[in-house]
Amino acid sequence: MKTSLYVVTAALLASGGVAAAQNTVIAPADTTVVVPAEPAPGAVVIQPQQQTVIREYVHKNPAASINILGLELSLGTKVPDTVVMHEVPDVSYRYAVINDRTVLIDPQTHQIVQILN
C-alpha cells in the first residue's frame, strides 16, 4: 500500500511538472533579417532620384484620366496604342492617367513599368 501511495504521489508530481512546462513558452530573440529582393530579370529599375523627378513633374503637370474598362493596371500590362502618353523631360518613359491611376509606360513596348498611385 505504501508503495502504491508513493507511485501515485510521484505520478501527481510528475504530471504537475508537465503542466507547468506546458505553460512556459520560450521564444527565441527576433533574428529576422530583411533582404531586399533582387529585381526580376528584365524588370525596370528606376532610381530614387529619377522617381522624385518623375513624381514632381507629374504632380505639376496633371493629365486627364482615361477609363479603359477591363484593363488590369499591373506591371507589364500592355496599354492600347491609342493611349496618349505624356513626356517627362530627361526620362525615357512616358506617363498616362488610366482609371484614375498614374502609370509610367515604356513608349517602345506600351507596357506599364511603374504605377505611381
Q: Looking at residue 47, what is its pLDDT?
A: 81
% residues pLDDT > 70 (the chain): 62
- Residue 34: is its pLDDT beyond 90? no
Our measurement of the distance from residue 21's CA atom to the centroid of its chain's CA atoms, rounded to an integer in Å, reads 39
- Residue 31: is its pLDDT beyond 90? no
CB 25 within 8 A of CB 19: no
Cα–Cα distance measured from residue 42 to residue 113, given in angstroms and rounded to the nearest whole number: 11
Predicted TM-score (pTM) above 0.95: no
pLDDT band at 46 (very low <50, low <70, confident <90, very high): confident
Average pLDDT over residues 61-67: 94
Name which residue leads in pLDDT, 48 or 37: 48
